[in-house]
Amino acid sequence: MIILETRDLKYTYPDGTVAVQNLNLEIKNGKKVAFVGQNGSGKSTLFLLLNGTLKPSQGEVFFHGVPFKYDSKSLRDIRKSVGIVFQNSDDQIFAPTVYQDVAFGPANLGYSKERVDTCVQQALEYVGLSRLKDKPPHHLSGGQKKRVAIAGIMAMEPEVIILDEPLSNLDPAGADEIMELLNEFNHFGSTIIISTHDVDLAYRWSDYVFLLSNSKIIGQGTPADVFKNTELLKKTGLRQPTTLEIYHEIERRGLASGGNSPKTIPELVNTLKPIDLMWVDVPPRVREGDSLNLGVMYGQYATQSPYEAINATVLHIHADGRAIVELKRKGIKAGGVLIYDTDSYSLPEIKQILKEGEIVFVGAMGKKSKILAEQDGVRLDVSSGVIDKTILMALCGKRCLILTAGGMVDHAFKRIKEYVETSGIEFTVGVVNREEGCQWLEEIKDNPETLKI
């Protein structure tokens, strides 16, 4: 379903500068959308048009198929539904304390005092700033200010959240937290629109990309399609995403295959898989096309996990009794990823899992889980880019635990599961403390080698 749409949109500033023109775009509900373009390509103006702050010189904006009206009541409804987070947090945060600033929006919506309070508490807890609610904004770090700005918008419970350059001036850890937060909103159904000139971010994160140049849209589509088109990128003055560039370079040298554009490092690693061929001595009766059981290999012969059961298909038999076989590897002591829902948290349980599950790698996603881990002294190996890094560790036969909560549990589970399905590399993944049970635990029955809890 289309939530926001523009038709033939044009905006000219009073001094005659054309900021956007001929803009036709459709944004689907529940998507993660990125507008990519250089500075001054019209992104910020477009965003102000999408939230009714600016009135177009020509054309119309539609929300759920209904054209924007610019009387004060309709504008109120639009601004409630389409929230905008500015690039510079200092422009957005104007109240003397964090609480007052977050409460500003809900109070303007005419909510009762109690309801405002619940909205604010929820929003602050969500972004992990409950403890700082009485602080003045000038005591906060850049990342914290950004989170306050986001909480101020979230407290109004908008359907669409627009963020202008959400990661500018943030350090990597802060940037990662913001993106995690956005993923979580999206998981609960919000449509997220960001502008950025970071092609890596747009490529990795978004579902749909618009390329803007000189106040026009010059390209749109899934990130894989848009960023494949080098001509288009040249026109916008942008470069290709790093992962894609690396992939193309190693593909050209015949070291990778797979065809699809890898977005994350695990996906990139997965393309590095030329057909695994080997010379072996075969018994005389074996024919071409037969299957051979080569037994269990380890050490340098096992490339994906510590021990591998290897089956081979005979491709060609040479005259001297040696044959070329294609190897099919199956990890025996495979790695895996366990996800622990910190909504029902108990330290002894985690300790038990860490010990008996032979977990060697622990990560935490979301502010709440990180704070919990820090409080209880659970050592974290990774706290940013958690999903990717745990996948990489699991691929190397390690067992990993992710501590997370709420919507992030499903998000992480889905992402890892998808990876297992698309890559064809088996490792187990499951959520530990959920009622549906854990696949990992069930697999113990089939394979005594795997984990016992």
Partner 1 sequence: MGGKFLSSVFYLTFNFNFQPFICGFSMTNILDDYALMSPLRHRNNWLKLVIVLFGLLAGVSATSPIPPFFIAFCMSFAAIALGKAPMKLYLKLLLAPMGFAIAGVLIIAFFSGSGPELLSFKFLGYPLSIRADGFELASLVLARSISGMCCLYFLALTTPMIELFAVLKASKLPESVIELSMLIYRYIFVFLDMALSIRYAQTVRLGYSSFSRSLRSLGMLGSTLFVRSWEQGDKLFLAMNSRCYDGKMTLFEVKRPVGASELLLTSAYFLLTLALLYLTKNASIV
Interface ranges with partner 1 (CB under 8 A): 48, 51, 53, 76, 79-80, 83-84, 86, 88, 90-97, 99-100, 103-105, 107-109, 113, 116-117, 134-139, 152-153, 156
Distance of alpha carbon 373 from alpha carbon 169, whole angstroms:
27
Q: In degrees to the nearest 10, what's the CA dihedral of 304, 305, 307, 311?
A: -30
Q: Would you say 44 or 240 has its CB closer to partner 1?
A: 44
Q: Could you tell me the smallest distance in angstroms from the CB atom of residue 176 to partner 1?
A: 23
Q: Would you say 144 or 383 has its CB closer to partner 1?
A: 144
Q: Could you tell me the smallest distance in angstroms from the CB atom of residue 116 to partner 1?
A: 7
Q: Would you say 117 or 245 has its CB closer to partner 1?
A: 117
Distance of alpha carbon 308 from alpha carbon 330, whole angstroms:
5
Buried b (16+ CB within 10 A) or exposed e, 224-253: eebbeeeebbeebebebbebbebbeeeeee
Q: Would you say 100 or 214 has its CB closer to partner 1?
A: 100
Q: Which residue has the tokens 């948290």?
A: 345
Q: Could you tell me the smallest distance in angstroms from the CB atom of residue 154 to partner 1?
A: 11
Q: Would you say 12 or 97 has its CB closer to partner 1?
A: 97
Reduced to 3 states (helix: H, G, I; strand: E, B; else coil), residue 311 is strand
Q: Would you say 94 or 298 has its CB closer to partner 1?
A: 94
Tokens of 427: 């490792």
Q: Could you tell me the smallest distance in angstroms from the CB atom of residue 270 to partner 1?
A: 43
Distance of alpha carbon 439 from alpha carbon 431, whole angstroms:
8
Q: Could you tell me the smallest distance in angstroms from the CB atom of residue 185 to partner 1?
A: 17
Instruction: Report residue 226 CA to chain centroid gap.
Output: 18
Residue 366 and residue 406 in contact, taking contact as beta carbons nearer than 8 Å? yes
Q: Would you say 136 or 306 has its CB closer to partner 1?
A: 136
Q: Which residue has the tokens 């025996």?
A: 332
Residues 6+ apart with CB under 8 A from 63: 3, 4, 78, 81, 82
* Tally of CB atoms within 10 A around 360: 14
Instruction: Report residue 370 CA to chain centroid gap.
Output: 18
Q: Could you tell me the smallest distance in angstroms from the CB atom of residue 243 to partner 1?
A: 34
Q: Would you say 48 or 359 has its CB closer to partner 1?
A: 48
Alpha carbon of 355 to those of 39, 160, 213, 348: distances in Å?
Answer: 51, 43, 54, 10
Q: Which residue has the tokens 């560790």?
A: 393
Q: Would you say 158 or 366 has its CB closer to partner 1?
A: 158
Q: Could you tell me the smallest distance in angstroms from the CB atom of residue 277 to partner 1?
A: 59
Q: Which residue type does 15 have?
A: D
Q: Could you tell me the smallest distance in angstroms from the CB atom of residue 39 to partner 1?
A: 17
Q: Could you tell me the smallest distance in angstroms from the CB atom of residue 152 to partner 1?
A: 7
Q: Could you tell me the smallest distance in angstroms from the CB atom of residue 181 to partner 1?
A: 19
Residue 268 burial by Cβ neighbours in a 10 Å radius (0-12, 13-18, 19+): buried
Backbone Cα Rg of the chain: 26
Distance of alpha carbon 311 from alpha carbon 406, whole angstroms:
41
Q: Would you say 133 or 367 has its CB closer to partner 1?
A: 133
- Pairing between β-strand 18-28 and β-strand 2-12 as defined by DSSP bridges: antiparallel
